[in-house]
């Protein structure tokens, strides 16, 4: 007596492959835009970090009674260059660059020189190093400490 063979028929295998293809075709568009959304979130998060750094520097500046000084020393020993009378970090490596990253500071123009962001020479724009266009950035104004975000080119 012959042993009965077990396995899948060609038709069954083709049906399974078609079903997997349909599932992949419907799920794929959901994952295509994930990198753009992640880049947008990174820019938004970094902008929040800049805002926090500005607020901390100003708070330390006024709490220590440094209203006539052009720098403030933070609790970790980092000295931050600030505007006299305002306590807002200057748009320099010694200002907002050190306020964001502490003693290590942000490095101008270096890829990844500021927590995965490239900094322009004037320390006014911060763009993700992992892609996006020139309009995917957080911008800093030393005049008033404002941080604006443009995520239109992050996708």
Instruction: Answer yes or no: is 11 within a domain.
Output: no
Contact 95, 83 (CB under 8 A): no
Residue 139 has pLDDT above 80, yes or no: yes
Asked if the model's pLDDT at residue 47 lies above 80, the reply is yes
Query: Looking up tokens 């942000």, which residue turns up?
Result: 106
CB-based contacts of 59: which residues, under 8 Å, 6+ apart?
87
Global pTM?
0.78
**What is d(CA 74, CA 76) in angstroms, rounded to the nearest whole number?**
5
Residue 106 has pLDDT above 90, yes or no: no
Can you tell me the distance from the alpha carbon of 75 to that of 97, in angstroms, rounded to the nearest whole number? 16
What is the SS3 assignment for 95? helix
Confidence band, pLDDT 50/70/90 cuts, at residue 19: very high
Structural domain that includes position 68:
35-151
Average of per-residue pLDDT values in the chain: 88
> Residue 130 domain-assigned?
yes
Q: Identify whether 60 is part of a domain.
A: yes
Averaged pLDDT, 18-45: 86
State yes or no: pLDDT of 112 exceeds 60.
Answer: no
Neighbours of 85 (CB within 10 A): 12
Domain count, the chain: 1
Per-residue pLDDT band for 111 (boundaries 50, 70, 90) equals low
pLDDT of 20 reads: 94
Q: Is residue 24 part of a domain?
A: no
Residue 61 lies in a domain: yes
**Has residue 27 been placed in a domain?**
no
- Domain membership of residue 17 (yes or no) is no
Q: Running DSSP on this structure, what letter comes out for residue 82?
A: B
Query: Has residue 95 been placed in a domain?
Result: yes
């Amino acid at each position: 007596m012959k042993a009965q063979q077990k396995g899948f028929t060609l038709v069954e295998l083709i049906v399974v492959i078609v079903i997997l293809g349909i599932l992949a075709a419907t799920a794929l568009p959901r994952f295509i835009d994930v990198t753009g959304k992640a880049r947008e979130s990174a820019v938004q998060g970094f902008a929040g970090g800049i805002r926090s750094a500005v607020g901390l520097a100003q708070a330390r500046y006024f709490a220590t009674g440094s209203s006539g000084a052009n720098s403030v020393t933070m609790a970790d020993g980092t000295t931050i260059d600030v505007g006299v009378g305002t306590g807002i970090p200057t748009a320099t490596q010694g200002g907002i660059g050190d306020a964001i990253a502490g003693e290590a500071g942000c490095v101008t123009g270096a890829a990844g020189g500021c927590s995965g962001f490239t900094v322009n020479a004037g320390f006014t724009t911060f763009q993700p190093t992992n892609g996006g266009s020139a309009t995917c950035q957080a911008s800093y104004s030393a005049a008033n400490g404002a941080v604006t975000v443009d995520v239109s080119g992050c996708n």
